[in-house]
Structures are given as C-alpha cells and as structure tokens.
Amino acid sequence: MQRPILIVEDDFKIARIIKAYLEGADFRVIHVDTAAAALEKAQQELPLAVILDLGLPDKSGEELCQELKELGDLPVIMLTAKASEEERITGFALGADDYVVKPASPRELVYRVKAVLKRADTTSGGERPLSFNQGDVVLDGKRHTLTRHGQTVAITPTEFKLLATLAAAPGRTFTRDELVSKALGYQFEGYERSVDAHIKNLRQKIETDSRNPELIKTVYGVGYLFSGERDEL
C-alpha cells in the first residue's frame, strides 16, 4: 500500500479541500485533527510527508514538528496563519522543510508537497558516498545518512540536500539564492533567509563548536562554502 501524506489540521473545511487536491494528484491521504492522533498515525503509517497546521487544540504545532522529526527523516510542511518573516524563520529552525501561509492555494500546496518529496528522493539516490577529512565526514546519498567522528548524525532531508550541495563542490562559495534554487527547490521571495536557519541547524549538529565552524564557513556578503578536504575512494 502506498505510504500516505498525513494532514494534521483541526479545520475540517481546509483539510477536506487539501485532501481532495492531493488525492487528485494520486496521493493517498490521511487526515487527523490532533497532535496525539498525528503521532500515532505517523508511527503506524510512516507517511511520505506531513502537512502540519500549527494551531492545534492539544499541543503546539511547533512542538509536534520536533516530535515528528525525532521519528526519522520525515518531511514536514508547516501550514499556518503566522505570516511574518521571523515566524517563518522560526519554523525552519525547528526543522520544517517548507512553510506555507494561510490562506494557501491548494494547487500551490500540492506543488510544495511534490517539491519536498523530490528533494527527499534526490538525496536518496545511488551516488557514491562523499567522504572528507580522512573519513571524518561521510555523506551517503543512497542510504541518506551522515556520519561525523564515526557517529551517525540525524538530519532532515532538506538539511541533507543543503549539505550535499555544498559538499559536492568543496571550497566553492554558494550564494543564498543558489542554495535556495539547488537545495531547497523553490524560488519565493524571502526564502534566502531560510538558508541561514538550516545552516544554523546543521552547524549545531556537525560542528565541534557551532560558533566557530570549521566545515560550513560563512563568506560574508556572499554566502556559504564547505571546507572539508575530499577523500579519494
């Protein structure tokens, strides 16, 4: 049976419209209206992605997002009426893979789901692992894993794609706009700053000292580069 898209939304009218459009795009869809039900279904069904409303009756959507991310590499699209740039950045900092502001076009939401799933598929391809600094950092796109100091590091599909984009050309500086296009997969005004939130998350996970990064360096006024030395495999 096809893995579903999980909609977590307590407004049944909105959920019904989203569900209809996703099913029209040949997705299997499950709808729940509480955080408790969402966690239960996520554990049972291992959804392809989650569309998550932040205004839930039993728990904040932000808290639920973090709990869903602990289940594994589960893409999460936040759906919310919170429209400010700072609130969007906060959403990305919590691990969201995309952020859609209500009232959302259901056609656009279907596109966002497909884009997130495409990014996840791209990062799980059959390419050879990328190894750096004598095996200290290894990115395996086939298994969708990252190891650092010999330990597996849990990162989201979007974080993996961002890091893989940087690591594919070590020493090259990527602008935020390039990273939005190549790693995040969409072109919408204001999303360059979402790169900063993802980079901050990555540094906290893989750098020895995230305030003095050795792997992902900032090129001020331009963007970011990956400074690892690639190993010959």
Residues comprising the chain, all counted: 233
Tell me the β-bridge partners of 226: 216
**DSSP type of residue 146:** E
- The CB density around residue 9, as the number of other CB atoms within 10 Å, is 23
In order of their start, the domains of the chain are: 5-122 (3.40.50.2300), 130-226 (1.10.10.10)
Is the pTM higher than 0.75? The answer reads no
Given a cut of 50, whether residue 124 has pLDDT beyond it is: no
- Residue 28 CA to residue 132 CA, distance in Å, equals 40
Q: pLDDT tier at 187 (50, 70, 90 boundaries)? A: very low
pLDDT at residue number 184: 67
Q: Is 116 exposed, middle or buried (0-12, 13-18, 19+ CB in 10 A)?
A: buried
Given a cut of 60, whether residue 189 has pLDDT beyond it is: no
For the chain, the 3-state helix, strand and coil shares in percent, each to the nearest 5, are 40, 20, 40
Q: pLDDT tier at 16 (50, 70, 90 boundaries)? A: very high
Q: Could you report the per-residue pLDDT of 17-33, keeping only the tens digit for each? A: 999 999 999 999 999 99
